[in-house]
Structure 1
Amino acid sequence: MDKNGVCIQMCPKEEVAFRTKEKLVHSLEKTSSGEPGVLVKEYRRSAAGRERSDVKQLRTKKALIKTVNYLIDEICNREDVDWPIIYEFVFDRLRAVRQDLTIQSINDDTTVYVLEKCVRFYLISISKLNRHPLNIFDPKINNKHLQETLQQLLVLYNSLDKGANHQSSMVEVCGDNSSRSPVNENDHTFKHRDEFESLYLLFNLGHTESLLHFISLPTHVRSGRWCTKAWKYSLAVLEHNYVRAFRLLHSLEDLQLYSIHYHLPKMQQNLLQRMNVAYSSKACKFPLATLCNLIGGKSIQEMKSLLTSYGLVITEDFVCFNKSTFKI
């Protein structure tokens, strides 16, 4: 059965009519006067069956790219709406875009483009919403979609790269080398691979699977700017050199910092445990200011709160490490 979408709008006409009639239009889809404005196809579970496979309900590749650009470039940049509302809306609509791609089995540069936008959105959301309560932002759900999207993207990079190399080999066998250039040169499909391979490595910091995947990458990808930074950081963590790891934070790109956000508390704990063993003495006092610089530039007040939570005693501007009082 042909499942190539024919809908050229961001939302199928039937859905627009239904949601308008039933007053199911999201606030971000309304005009300033409260009337229905630009509607974007919402996500529905695949259990909906035939309706989801109806080509009239499936958007074309061009429509999907238009939808993603609208969500990321216009909705996410709105300053008159709180980010939690933007997140809830964009998260759902991006999920619907990914669903349309899956149903149509689209695995080309369009999918790469969409998935890259999704990954950036999930990471930026960590930065903006990590301090919000679970009813507003659930990090487990966000991380689940981030991991799935990253994995899908990396698999796609690999399969498309193999296809490109195969084509290149066929040209060489046929003897037509007149216009041959290095595979993937200036190809938008792989333009940001360096960035997203690095994000996967850092998001899965210390995991054997992600390390093996990184090592298996082509040399030209591993030696890229983003991957070089990520690899240096991963090595510092693997070697348990947490002081170096925290110092390297300043060299990472913003998205890379968001990728390791949930790893930082464990790294702080590991560093403090080691320092507590090394400096555990009644006669030894370690300067709080120095410790702040070692652990990612935390403020004195933040550091005091962190140290107190581990049972350490603070005297004026110094911390007294003690093996007997340290608790996890």
Structure 2
Amino acid sequence: MERTERQRRNHPPYRSAAPSDSAGSSTSTSRRSYSNRSRNTDYKHSKYNTNGNLSFEDDADWRSRRSSDSKIYLQKLEAKEDDVGHDGRSHFDLPPVLVGTCPSMCPEAERAQRERLRDLAIFERLHGNPRKTSPDLAVKKFCRTMVAKSDQALDVRPLPVLEKTLKYVLSFLDTKEQPFEVIHDFVFDRTRSIRQDLSVQNIVNEKAIYMYEEMVRFHVTSHQKLLNGDSNSNASSMHHLNMQQLSKALITLLNLYEINRTNGAIFENEAEFHSLYVLLHLDSNSQATGEPLTLWFRTLRSPAIKSKEMCFARTILRYFRMCNYKGFLCTIGAEASNLQYCILEPYVNEIRALALSYINNGGYKLHPYPLVDLSMLLMMEESEVESFCKACGLVTSGDELGNMSLPTKQTTFSCPKGAFQRCSFVKLK
């Protein structure tokens, strides 16, 4: 009996409460699953919340997430560039062990090879000779397989040389001796090479920010000029490639701002470049650039959100999607910067055609709409209004005094297919 008593004390009997403990564990697991579902549901609704009264500063942990993930995000972004290593990692994932030592704009070995192959751009030829160049003319080309020889410091230009090279390359944008397509092809390739050398050396300081700003400006102005140039297949292809590099360079620039931020303030030009990101998303049917706006707005800091450039971009976005043509055109005329207008110009005639259809369908048949009033509404020269109406399938008429007007209720209206003919933009006084 004593042994039995000791066994009972050392090995207590199986409690009937055990099943309820197991049930409690199951309940706890179920509770956690429900909690996760709740959080996922909340996030699902919050990330598509477009309520303008919601303050993005109310999210308590977004700052820490943005700060800790900014460099990781930039690494993932640069991995999408064409200058990734053999193992698939971006150069921002690699330690900055390589410091370029190339003293000139083009490595000597590449310069000699391109002379042998007659692979010299028209701006690099010495006295027009396609087989001769010099260190003052030759500029390093972009090369997809450049990483295979990136261990050679002599093939990589250091930051001071890259700054000098960028200034030299962008100076060709002012020349009138060659068509813009020829100039763009040269500058487009050489700026990609500059970005490649910055990436290889993991240069992400404030000087890199300035250089990226200049390169984004080049792509934005090229966006406008290529659209207004010849409508051949080559120009269309160049425009498509230009938009790709504009997107990549702009997103990298925005993340460079975040990496170099120290006191929470925004950089001098940061607000304008953030607004360009919004304007590139103007048409919801077009290919998006980076993450959706509804998510992207939540990552912005209050100074950027409240800046006049971002307020302009968000107003334009709202007017465009509401088809408010008067607000859209008047806001552009009053507030748009040169860079912002370069992106918005393709949409201006689209909105003008929309306004023309509203006036044609909503006007009185016995009261033609005067072209002088139409030119003020569309913010364009009166001499261009008649040709614009004809492009939309509408005819104009004149009275005995020579005053031109647009008869309404015409059934021949049609939005022109393809690109509009470029028209002036007249700001109201």
Task: Report the TM-score, using the length of structure 2 for normalisation.
Answer: 0.63
Paired position in structure 2 for 1:4: 99
User: Structure 1 CA distance, aligned partners of 2:223 and 2:281?
Assistant: 15
Of 48, 51, 70, which aligns to 2:168?
Answer: 70
Alignment: residue pair count: 301
- Distance, in Å, in 1 between the alignment partners of 2:202 and 2:382 is 50
Q: Distance in 2 between matches of 1:92 and 1:49?
A: 17
Does the alignment pair 1:121 with 2:218? Answer: yes
Partner SS state of residue 99, structure 2? coil
> Any idea what the Cα deviations from partners look like across 1:263-305, whole Å, max 9, x if unmatched?
22332233223323322x42131111222222231443x3223
Matched AA of 2:141: E
Does structure 1 retain, via aligned residues, the 8 Å contact 2:265–2:303? Answer: no
> Which is greater in Rg?
2
Query: Closer, same or farther in 2 for the Cα pair 1:22/1:324, shift >3 Å?
Result: closer
Q: What is the one-letter code of the residue matched to 1:121?
A: F
Q: Secondary structure at the match of 2:244?
A: helix
Structure 1 position 219, deviation (Å): 2.3
Q: Is the 8 A contact 2:99 2:153 kept in 1?
A: yes
Q: Structure 1 residues 78, 312: CA separation in 2 closer, same or farther (over 3 Å shift)?
A: closer
Consecutive unaligned residues in structure 1, runs of 5 or more: 165-181
Question: Which amino acid is 1:202 matched to?
Answer: L
Q: What do the CA deviations read for 1:119-160 (whole angstroms, capped 9, x no partner)?
A: 111122233343323324632221221122212212222343
* Cα gap change, 1:80 to 1:309, in 2 (>3 Å): closer
State whether residues 201 and 214 of structure 1, in contact with CA within 8 Å, keep that contact through their aligned partners in structure 2: no
- What is the rounded CA distance, in whole Å, between the counterparts of 1:141 and 1:306 in structure 2? 30
Name the stretch that deviates more: 291-300 or 110-119: 291-300
Task: Specify the alignment match of 2:405 in structure 1.
Answer: 318
Say yes or no: does 1:243 pair with 2:320. Answer: no
Q: Which residue of 1 aligns with 2:272?
A: 195
Change (3 A) 1:27 1:216: same
- Using the alignment, how far apart are the partners of 1:243 and 1:298 within structure 2? 16
The equivalent residue for 1:213 is 296
Q: Which runs of 4+ in 1 moved over 6 A?
A: none
The question of whether the paired residues in 1 share the 8 Å contact of 2:368 and 2:408 is answered with yes
- Residue 265 (1) aligns with residue 364 (2): no
Deviation for aligned residue 1:256? 0.9
Which has the higher mean CA deviation after the structures are superposed, 112-121 or 265-274? 265-274
Query: Deviation of residue 319 (structure 1)?
Result: 1.2
Structure 1 Cα separation of the partners of residues 386 and 295 of structure 2: 39
% identity of equivalent residues? 25
- How many angstroms apart in 2 are the aligned matches of 1:93 and 1:103? 15
- 8 Å CA contact 2:100–2:153 kept in 1: the answer is yes
Aligned to 1:285: 368
Partner of residue 386, structure 2: 304
Aligned counterpart for 1:21 among listed residues 107, 116, 120: 116
The residue type paired with residue 408 of structure 2 is: F
Contact 1:249–1:296, Cα closer than 8 Å, also in 2: no
1: distance between equivalents of 2:228 and 2:181? 11
**Unaligned runs of at least 5 residues, structure 2:** 1-94, 399-403, 416-429
For the 8 Å contact 1:201–1:211, the answer to whether it is kept is no
Aligned residue in 2 for 1:177 = none
Output aligned runs, 1:145-164, within 5 Å: 145-161=245-261, 164=262
Equivalent residue, structure 1, for 2:140: 41
**Residues 53, 103 of structure 1: 8 Å contact kept:** no
What SS does the corresponding residue of 2:396 show, helix, strand or coil?
strand
Normalization by structure 1: what TM-score? 0.81
Q: What residue number does 2:79 align with? A: none
Aligned partners of 2:394 and 2:410 also within 8 Å: no
